[in-house]
Amino acid sequence: MPEIASRNHIEAISRVAKKALKEASIELKQIDAITPTYGPGLVGALLVGVSYAKALSFANKIPLVGVNHIQGHIAANYITYPELKPPFLCVMMSGGNTRNYLCKKLY
């Protein structure tokens, strides 16, 4: 439900950002760039993320670099599997985006 997803993003985004910084044991001033996903995806949820990221970027003078939503999901595998090297097959499931991708190179 796109409207519910957007509302949940609004309610959670600040809390999630603060928790991520805390779990990483870093402060916002240590961040090199703020990288929201810009699409594809649910437009309401994307707007929430991009708007929050733009405000955080502007207020803290941190560069803003947009990331493709699907590539972001695929790249998140490197958090759990840092040794992962292309080529590999990735099953990506996120809302309405469910596909198999053959990842041939790093971006």
Q: Where are the domains of the chain?
A: 2-103
pLDDT digits (tens, 9 = 90+) for 62-78: 999 999 988 888 888 88
pTM value > 0.85: no
Secondary element (H or E) of residue 16: helix 2-24
pLDDT at 2 over 80: no
**Ranges 5-9, 31-35, 73-77, 90-94, most confident:** 31-35
| CATH of 2-103 given 3.40.50.720, 3.30.420.40, 3.20.190.10, 3.10.180.10 | 3.30.420.40
> Which residues have a Cβ under 8 Å from the Cβ of 97 and sit 6 or more positions away?
40, 41, 69, 70
